[in-house]
């Protein structure tokens, strides 16, 4: 029994020994590094492997990284010249290819399988732009083995030869996986021009040896102007990105100064008549610089034109007991009266009642109502578009175009690291999101005809969007550690905010508009405060039914029909109390009118028509390494390899 156990133990031991002998591994990794006076390196790597036909069949491959990110997050590209490749001391066939940022060298013949056992591979090459230059010393920070080998490395060593006149001043090395700072190594020759580093233990898969030697400054040459140009070309994508987004705010500031500044305008004082003989619909368009929608209904210019036709007795608004609204042809419909209408009203009348006596505000006539609105808007735009105000969209679009193109092209060409993208992308999307929320909130908050709750929500959204933009900028400054990409991220935030601001600020009145727009404000001021400032406006015309109805379409177009109607009601209460409860406009018949509350009744009537119009129309579809601040895997060189 004892003999049987001994035999089994012997077999197991022999099996373990055979398995150990059969392992594919790097028996020795020796690197001979010559630092030349021109700043280049000549490196000879001798890699001794045990091949068993599993991963190592034809030979090995070596991945040498020739692109790396510096502390700013930008690329440093290294020059590389392969001098010779040997297999067991003899020239070997090889092939090369780029794999991402690695230059891969396949050693061996694709059609020849090597014998099992120990093989020695030698790779000799020159490489440039690998040294680092500090104030008091120059430095070789070199990843000897690389940290991405598929095999363990039983022994690794590096022999460093400094040029004549240079001696080592500070030395360090690091072992282990990428990012670690193990110290399992020995070094000899400190203070001399030749140093030898050697590991004290086996390096496991994906572990490596990195060395750092600080030596006498000024012995080796720097990169010179050519190196700087090469660096610029290596980072052309970043500079396209950064300069593009620097251009965006500078461009908009230039354009705003050129076309966006408002010319000197008149002082706003109460005006008691419509300026420039503008029609109610045209005045609404000019005042708001667009066709302003009224809450959830139709736009104000449309309502103003309808009321204007009503006051002229060419149209009657009829609301039945069920709240259904229709437009009927009024008492005045002769050709001369139609021909005398302003362009927009003439187009509107022709579409609505040109060939019919009555049109209902329901889905049956939805397309007709929409066509009438489009016809009105087209006529007003044709007559007044750009006359009093220019939006300058032709100047606005190039900034967005340059920003978008340089963003996309810059990122494609630069191929930034994940760390860089984690700075830029959150800044980009957070600022876009924040700007969109702030813009939406501003539209709600600044709408003079919006509900109070709508304006409150708009103010909250405006604040939330502004906070998001601030968070984006603060995140770039505090959370990133790559200065170049922090600058790019901050420029992106500034650029997006500038785009949003210029959406509002680039538009400017024309010289004529600088005179007319304050007069419209003055006329609106009169309509809005006719009663509250009655005693202060001694030159105001005497209130009358004719004046009230003549100016009511203007008041509706400017969104102040309720205070204007209340002024009329107050006038009736003072001069003719009996008529206060009897007044009823000839242009409106329906349940929304209550004679004892003229102001609110007028507003309700306008709102009813607006809502009916909107519902009837079709909806649109909707640190240095040698001073101890390095780590395994840092510095130049590195990479890894495997068998093939």
- The torsion angle over the Cα atoms of residues 271, 276, 279 and 283, rounded to 10 degrees, is -70
Within a 10 A sphere around the Cβ of 27, how many other Cβ atoms?
16
For the cut 70, the answer to whether the pLDDT of residue 325 exceeds it is yes
pLDDT above 90: percentage of residues in the chain = 51
Distances (CA, A) of 266 to 289, 390, 472, 536: 18, 18, 41, 20
For residue 243, name the pLDDT band (cuts at 50, 70, 90). very high
Rounded to whole angstroms, the Cα distance separating 127 from 80 reads: 4
> Once rounded to an integer, what is the mean pLDDT over residues 23-47?
94
Answer with the residue of higher pLDDT: 568 or 13.
568
CA 12, distance to chain mean position in Å, is: 65
Q: Specify burial of residue 353 (Cβ count, 10 A radius: 0-12, 13-18, 19+).
A: buried
Region of poorest pLDDT, from 64-73, 134-143, 369-378, 633-642: 633-642
- Partners of residue 336 on adjacent β-strands: none
- Whole-number pLDDT of residue 226: 54
- Angstrom distances, CA of residue 380 to CA of 277, 291, 584: 14, 10, 31
The answer to whether position 446 is within a domain reads yes
**Separation of alpha carbons 576 and 288, rounded Å:** 36
Rounded to an integer, what distance in angstroms lies between the CA atom of residue 37 and that of residue 43?
14
Q: Is pLDDT above 90 for 234?
A: no
Q: Which of 235, 272, 318, 243 is nearest to 67 (CA)?
A: 235
Is residue 164 in some structural domain? yes
Mean pLDDT of 446-462: 81
* Sign for the pseudo-dihedral over CA of 90, 96, 99, 102: positive
More confident residue, 103 or 612: 103
CB 8 within 8 A of CB 135: no
H/E element holding 271? none
Find, among 565, 597, 566, 567, the residue nearest to 581 by Cα.
597
Torsion angle in degrees (nearest 10) through CA of 110, 112, 118, 120: -50
Helices (H), 135-289: 224-234, 236-255, 280-288
Q: What is the mean pLDDT of residues 322-328?
A: 84
pLDDT at 17 over 50: no
pLDDT score of 632: 56
| Domain co-membership, 456 together with 527 | no
What would the mean pLDDT of 382-389 be, rounded to a whole number?
Answer: 91
- Looking at the structure, tell me whether residues 256 and 397 fall in a common domain: yes
Percent helix, strand and coil across the chain, each rounded to 5?
45, 20, 30
* End-to-end alpha carbon distance in the chain: 47
How far apart are the C-alpha atoms of 570 and 563, rounded to whole Å?
10
Residue 249 domain boundaries: 244-261+393-505
Residues 397, 524, single domain; the answer is no
Tokens 């609110």 sit on residue: 600
What is the tens place of the pLDDT at every residue in 390-415? 999 999 999 999 999 999 999 999 98
d(CA 39, CA 126): 11
Strongest mean pLDDT among 56-60, 77-81, 565-569? 56-60
* Together in a domain, 192 and 312: no
Closest listed residue to residue 103, CA positions, set 78, 138, 134, 122: 78
599-618: per-residue pLDDT in tens?
555 666 666 676 666 666 66
Q: How far is CA 548 from CA 225, 233, 628, in A?
A: 80, 72, 87
Residues in the chain: 644
> Residue 279: what pLDDT?
94
Q: H/E element holding 215? A: strand 207-215
Last residue of a domain, one of 440, 471, 505: 505
Q: Please check whether residue 518 lies inside any domain of the structure.
A: yes
Rounded percentage of the chain residues whose pLDDT exceeds 70: 85
- Check if the beta carbon of residue 49 is closer than 8 Å to that of residue 70: no
The pLDDT assigned to 14 comes to 45
What pLDDT score was predicted for residue 18?
A: 46
> Residue 119: what pLDDT?
95
pLDDT of residue 110: 87
Confidence at 362, pLDDT banded by 50, 70, 90: confident
Residue at a domain's end among 505, 523, 558: 505
What number is the average pLDDT over the span 578-586?
72
Q: Do 242 and 491 touch, CB atoms closer than 8 A?
A: yes
- CA distance linking residue 542 with residue 69, whole number of Å: 79
Sorted by sequence, the CB contacts under 8 Å of residue 535 that are 6+ apart come out as none
How many domains are contained in the chain?
A: 3
Q: What average pLDDT does this structure show over 300-307?
A: 90
CA quadruple 336, 340, 345, 351: dihedral positive or negative?
positive
What pLDDT, on the 0 to 100 scale, is given for residue 178? 85
Say if residue 360 is in the same domain as residue 422. no
Average pLDDT, the chain: 85
By the 8 A CB rule, do 559 and 294 touch? Answer: yes
> Which residues pair with residue 90 across a beta bridge?
87
CA distance 50 to 65: 25
**Pairing of β 60-65 and β 640-643:** antiparallel
Q: Are 56 and 172 part of one and the same domain?
A: yes
In tens, the pLDDT along 56-73 reads 999 999 988 888 778 888
Whichever domain contains 76, its CATH number is: 2.60.40.1730
160-172 residue pLDDT tens: 999 999 999 999 9
pLDDT tens column, 179-206:
888 898 999 999 999 999 999 999 999 8
Token look-up 């610089």 returns 289
Checking if the pLDDT of 621 tops 60, the result is: no
- The answer to whether position 235 is within a domain reads no
Helix axes 483-505, 418-446, angle to 10 degrees: 20
Q: Would you state the structure tokens that stand for residue 596, as one six-digit string?
A: 């004892």
For residue 298, being part of any structural domain is answered with: yes
Using the structure block, give the residue that is written with the tokens 């572990």: 207
Q: What confidence category does residue 510 fall into, taking pLDDT thresholds of 50, 70 and 90?
A: very high
The pLDDT, as a whole number, for residue 201 is 93
486 and 538 share one domain: no
Q: Are residues 483 and 537 in the same domain?
A: no
Q: Which residues pair with 107 in a beta bridge?
A: 94
Domain boundary among the residues 505, 527, 558 is at: 505
The reply to whether 458 and 516 lie within a common domain is: no
| 464 shares its domain with 525 | no
Same domain membership, residue 467 and residue 521: no
Please tell me what DSSP assigns to residue 260. Answer: I
Q: How far apart are CA 440 and CA 465, in angstroms?
A: 9
Compare 121 and 12 and report the one with higher pLDDT. Answer: 121
pLDDT at 2: 58
User: Is residue 48, in this structure, part of any structural domain at all?
Assistant: yes
The verdict on residue 178 lying in a domain is: yes
Report residue 20's pLDDT band, with 50, 70 and 90 as the boundaries: very low
Residue 400 inside a domain? The answer is yes
Close Cβ partners of 599 (under 8 Å, ≥ 6 residues apart): 562, 563, 565, 566, 568, 569
**pLDDT confidence tier of residue 367, bands split at 50, 70 and 90:** confident
Using an 8 Å Cβ cutoff, are 119 and 51 in contact?
yes
Contact (Cβ atoms closer than 8 angstroms) between residue 198 and residue 155: yes
Element holding 110 (H helix, E strand):
none
| Per-residue confidence band for 593, with pLDDT thresholds at 50, 70 and 90 | low
Asked if residue 416 has pLDDT above 50, the reply is yes
* Residue 202 in tokens: 């086996």
State whether 525 and 450 are in the same domain. Answer: no
Helix axes 236-255, 224-234, angle to 10 degrees: 70
């Amino acid at each position: 029994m004892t003999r049987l156990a001994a035999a089994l133990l012997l077999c197991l031991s022999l099996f373990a020994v055979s398995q150990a002998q059969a392992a594919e591994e790097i028996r020795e990794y020796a690197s001979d590094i010559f630092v030349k006076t021109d700043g280049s390196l000549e490196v000879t790597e001798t890699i001794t492997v045990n091949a068993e036909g599993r991963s190592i069949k034809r030979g090995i491959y070596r991945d040498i990284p020739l692109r790396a990110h510096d502390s700013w997050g930008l690329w440093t590209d290294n020059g590389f010249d392969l001098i010779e490749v040997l297999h067991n001391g003899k020239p070997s066939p090889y092939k090369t290819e780029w794999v991402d940022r690695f230059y891969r060298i396949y050693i061996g013949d694709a059609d020849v399988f090597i014998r099992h056992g120990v093989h020695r591979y030698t790779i000799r090459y020159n490489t440039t732009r690998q040294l680092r230059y500090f104030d008091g010393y120059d430095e070789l920070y070199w990843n000897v083995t690389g940290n991405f080998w598929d095999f363990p490395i039983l022994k690794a060593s590096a022999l460093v030869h400094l040029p004549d006149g240079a001696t080592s001043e500070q030395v360090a090395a690091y072992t282990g996986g990428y990012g670690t700072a193990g110290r399992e190594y020995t070094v000899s020759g400190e203070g001399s021009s030749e140093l030898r580093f050697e590991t004290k233990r086996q390096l496991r898969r994906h572990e490596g040896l990195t060395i750092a030697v600080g030596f006498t400054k000024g012995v080796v040459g720097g990169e010179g102007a050519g190196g700087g140009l090469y660096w610029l070309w290596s980072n052309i994508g970043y500079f396209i990105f950064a300069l593009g987004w620097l251009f965006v705010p500078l461009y908009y500031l230039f354009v705003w100064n050129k076309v966006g500044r408002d010319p000197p305008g008149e002082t706003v004082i109460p005006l008691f008549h419509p300026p420039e003989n503008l029609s109610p619909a045209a005045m609404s368009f000019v005042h708001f610089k667009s066709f302003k929608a009224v809450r959830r209904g139709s736009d104000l210019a449309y309502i103003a034109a309808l009321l204007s036709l009503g006051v002229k007795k060419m149209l009657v608004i009829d609301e039945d007991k069920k709240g259904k609204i229709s437009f009927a042809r009024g008492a005045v419909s002769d050709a001369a009266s139609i021909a005398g209408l302003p362009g927009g009203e003439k187009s509107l009348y022709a579409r609505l009642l040109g060939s019919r006596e009555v049109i209902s505000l329901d889905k049956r006539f939805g397309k007709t109502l929409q066509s009438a609105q489009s016809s009105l808007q087209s006529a007003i735009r044709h007559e007044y578009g750009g006359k009093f105000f220019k939006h300058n969209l032709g100047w606005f679009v190039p900034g967005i175009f340059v920003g978008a193109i340089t963003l996309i092209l810059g990122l494609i060409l630069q191929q930034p690291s994940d760390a860089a993208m984690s700075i830029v992308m959150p800044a980009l999307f957070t600022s876009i999101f924040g700007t969109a929320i702030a813009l939406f909130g501003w539209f709600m908050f600044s709408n003079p005809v919006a509900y109070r709750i709508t304006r409150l929500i708009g103010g909250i959204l405006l604040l939330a969007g502004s906070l998001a933009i601030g968070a984006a900028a603060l995140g770039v400054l505090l959370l990133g550690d790559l200065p170049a990409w922090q600058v790019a991220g901050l420029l992106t935030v500034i650029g997006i905010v500038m785009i949003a601001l210029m959406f509002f600020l680039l538009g400017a009145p024309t010289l004529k508009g600088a005179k007319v727009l304050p007069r419209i404000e003055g006329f609106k001021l009169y309509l809005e405060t006719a009663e509250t400032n009655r005693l202060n406006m001694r030159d105001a015309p005497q209130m009358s039914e004719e004046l009230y109805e003549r100016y009511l379409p203007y008041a509706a177009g400017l969104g102040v029909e309720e205070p204007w109607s209340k002024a009329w009601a107050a006038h009736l209460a003072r001069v003719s109390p009996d008529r206060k409860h009897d007044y009823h406009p000839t242009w409106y018949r329906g349940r929304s009118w209550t004679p004892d509350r003229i102001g609110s009744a007028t507003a309700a009537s306008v709102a009813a028509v607006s809502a009916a119009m909107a519902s009837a129309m079709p909806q649109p579809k909707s640190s240095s390494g040698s001073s101890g601040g390095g780590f395994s895997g840092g510095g130049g060189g590195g990479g890894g390899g495997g068998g093939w």
